[in-house]
Structures are given as C-alpha cells and as structure tokens.
Structure 1
Amino acid sequence: MKILLVLFLCTLLPTLGAFLECETCFATSSNCTGGRELCEDGENTCAIGITEKSQGGKIEFTVEKGCHSSENCTSRWILVTFGQGEFIRKGANCCMEENCSAAFSHLPPVNTTANGKRCPACYSLSKPCPPAVVNCTGSENYCLDLTTYTLHTEKRIYLKGCTTESTCAGLQNGMWNIVDTDDKKVDCRPASQSSASSGSLLFSIFGFLLFIVLL
C-alpha cells in the first residue's frame, strides 16, 4: 500500500508544479514591480516586454510583466522607423519567474546608419496622414503600411515606415503586435533605393555623356 501511495504522489507532483505564477505589472519606467498571479491554460512561461516610442523629440517607455505562451517567445525586436529620429520598437523576453526581475533590463542600441533605401512614412492616431519619406537605417529593407483599430479606445492607428523583413513576417502572421488591436491590416513590400542615390547616378551618367560630346 505504501508503494502505491508513493507512486501516486510522484505522478501528482508534476501536475501540482505545473501551476505557474508570474509577477504582473505595468509601468512607464524600468521599475516595474507587482504581485504574482496564477497563469491560465496555455500560458506556460513568464515574460517581460518593453516598448519604446520616439516621436516629436519625446520618448515614451513602457514595461510590462505577466504570463505568456512560450510559442511566441523570441529574442528579436519589432522595429519601425516612421521619421528622422522617430521610431517604435518592441520586444518580449520569456523567463523563469525568479529571473524576470533581471532579464531584459536594457535595450539594444538603435542602428541609425542610413542604408540607401527609403519608404513612405506616417504615424497618426486619428485619421490618415499624408505620407512623408524616411531614410531606412541598419537592416531595415522593407516598407510597412499598417492600419489598426481598437474597440476599447475606438481609435485607428495609421503607421507607415521602414522595418525589417522579420518584423513584417511576424506582424503578418499574427505572432507579433505593435499594439493590442481588434482588427489590423498589414502590407509589406521591399524598400526602394534612395532617390538621392538615383539622382547621383543619373548626374554621373549625364556628366559622362557630356564629356564624350565635348570630346
């Protein structure tokens, strides 16, 4: 009988240990602390997410901790540049509950080196905005056109700009979100070469032809 009882407890303990608790909080600074909450079915890991938005010389920074599904865990960042020095980037890191306070404590630097490509650029929380043009930087080689709608705020978000191919793929397949939204439309296309570069090339060709005529 004792052997049967021990075997029963051994099979029961993994089930009891499967109930995961994670620290849950939301803050507009890196100091995000809160109480622990029991995770729901399908949420098998703790996570900490960071969102940073730079617009009009103002930087908004938020940190969120809570339960998450490990299926969506990734070390990659969502990055969209929609103006000169204006961008949105977001990332999440899955972690065990005892390590979440230390994990993901800093942001990787933003690569501001222009790569010779350009995209239409726009960011609006109310109505479609006339797109400007932004120079893509770093590994941004795709143009993003994103429209979202949220029921709880009854607002649409219009976002156009440069981004990476992986960010486009993650947004299109629903794995990643820039904002929590009820409806969204995501279009991506390869970014075009900078018109400035094209202009320089045409100028060089014209100068070469002129040189030949003068000869």
Structure 2
Amino acid sequence: MMKFVLISLSLICAVIWTVDAIECQKCFQKNSDTCVGESVHCPNATQCMVVSELYQIGNETMHLIKKDCNPDLPCGEIYFSNFKDTHVKTNIQCCSEDNCNTDCYKMPPEDIERKGKICPACFQDGLTECISNNTERCIHPGDLCLEYIGRVKGPDNNIRNYTYKGCISPLGCTYKWNAFFGAEEVETIRLTCV
C-alpha cells in the first residue's frame, strides 16, 4: 500500500510540475533587435523573457539580445550604469504564455534631461584605480553613485580589470552583474552604491 501511495504522489508531482512549467524561445544575438531560436522547456520558470542590452564604450556600440526562461529577474525594468564615456543599459521584458517571447524588441529611448544627483565620474580599463575630478549628473532622481573595482569578462570574451565611478539605477546595484548577460564578473574587489 505504501508503495502505491508513493507512486501516486510522484505522478501527481510530475503532473503539477508539467502544468506549471512554460515553453520559451531561447536564442542570443549580437548587434540585432531580434534572434530566432528553439523552444525550450523551463522547469524552474513561469515566465519567458526578452533581454535587450546596449554597451557603449567610447565610440564603440554593441547591442545584444537574449531570449530565454526568466530566472527570477524583475520584469519591465531598465538597469543601467553610466560612467564617463561608458554606458551599459539592460531592459528585461517578460510574458507568461508558451513561446510568447518571439517578437523583436528595441530598447526604449533614454530620457535626455538628467534630473538626478551629481556623482564622481571616471573609468579605467585595465587598471584597479580610478582618480578623477570629473563629475556627472545622473539621469533619474533615485539613481545612486557607484564605485566599482573588479575583473569582468566583456561581450568580446576578454577579461579586463575595470575601475569606474558614476551613476547606477538602484536595481542595477541590487542585481549587480547578474542583471547583465553580455558581461560576466570574474572578481569583485570593491562595489559601493551610495
């Protein structure tokens, strides 16, 4: 009898797990507003997502798009970092039906008028120190001043030391590098958001 009960419970759990799971399109593309991929089963997610990322470093710009299961990132939010002539912006849009993330997606335009606080601003690629008397005004009133020193693997797959000071959205500071898919943090030396 106990064996029958255990088998029944296992089958019920399997049915519930299958009902709650969602199918999402999965793909990744550089310098495009869309990508096309295969449909995948998302056992640990109830939402699909489309993530659009924009990297601007000096005169170079790279746009990345990713479609996948949502691993529990907040939806409908824009995360960003601005420091000197380097800008990173990520927007996550989600939906809750099978393969609902097939459309193309464009990053919404940025509000040009800066309304936030003034933060120290500098950027050093390849160094672990950033000293500058420059400042910048943040875009939104709730933005934070960021100081970051660490090693990061960028969209070009190179690992570099980065040091920067500038503005960041509160969610960008909360989720840190987990919110960005085009860059992967290798080591944090210092991260402060004030």
TM-score using structure 2 length = 0.72
Q: Give, as a single letter, the amino acid of the residue that structure 1 aligns with 2:75.
A: T
Aligned residue for 2:34? 31
Deviations 1:94-152 (A, max 9, x none): 2234321237x222221232337432223344223534423224315421112333588
Bigger radius of gyration among the two: 1
CA contact under 8 A between 1:111 and 1:137: conserved in structure 2?
A: no
Mapped to 2, the partners of 1:134 and 1:80 lie a distance apart of 14
Q: For residue 163 of structure 1, report the CA deviation from its aligned partner.
A: 2.2
CA distance in 2, matches of 1:62, 1:187: 27
- Is 2:116–2:140's contact at 8 Å kept on the other side of the alignment? no
Does residue 180 (structure 1) correspond to residue 189 (structure 2)? The answer is no
What's the CA shift string for 1:41-100, capped at 9, x where partnerless? 43332211111022222321100111222x32232211111125x421112222234321
Identical residues among aligned pairs (%): 17
**Per residue, is there more helix in 1 or in 2?**
1
Contact in 2 for aligned 1:131/1:160 (Cα 8 Å)? no
Q: 1:149 aligns with which of 148, 151, 169?
A: 151
Counting strand residues as a fraction of each chain, which structure ranks higher?
A: 2
Structure 1: runs of 5+ lacking an equivalent = 1-7, 190-215
How much has 1:30 moved relative to structure 2? 0.8
The residue that corresponds to 1:164 in the other structure is 169
**Structure 2: tracts of 5 or more residues without a match:** 1-8
Query: Does structure 1 residue 51 correspond to structure 2 residue 56?
Result: no
- Match in the other structure for 2:122: 122
Map 1:1-215 → 2, pairs under 5 A: 13-28=15-30, 29-39=32-42, 41-69=43-71, 71-83=72-84, 86-95=86-95, 96-102=97-103, 105-115=105-115, 117-128=117-128, 130-132=130-132, 133-139=134-140, 141-150=143-152, 153-171=158-176, 176-177=179-180, 179-184=183-188, 185-189=190-194
The 10-residue stretch of structure 1 (130-139 or 27-36) with the greater mean CA deviation from structure 2: 130-139
Tell me, what secondary structure is at the counterpart of 2:179?
coil
What SS does structure 1 have at the residue aligned with 2:107? coil
What residue in structure 2 maps to residue 192 of structure 1? none
Shift of residue 16, structure 1, vs aligned partner: 3.1
Structure having greater relative contact order (Cα 8 Å, sep ≥ 6): 2
Amino acid at match of 1:180: E
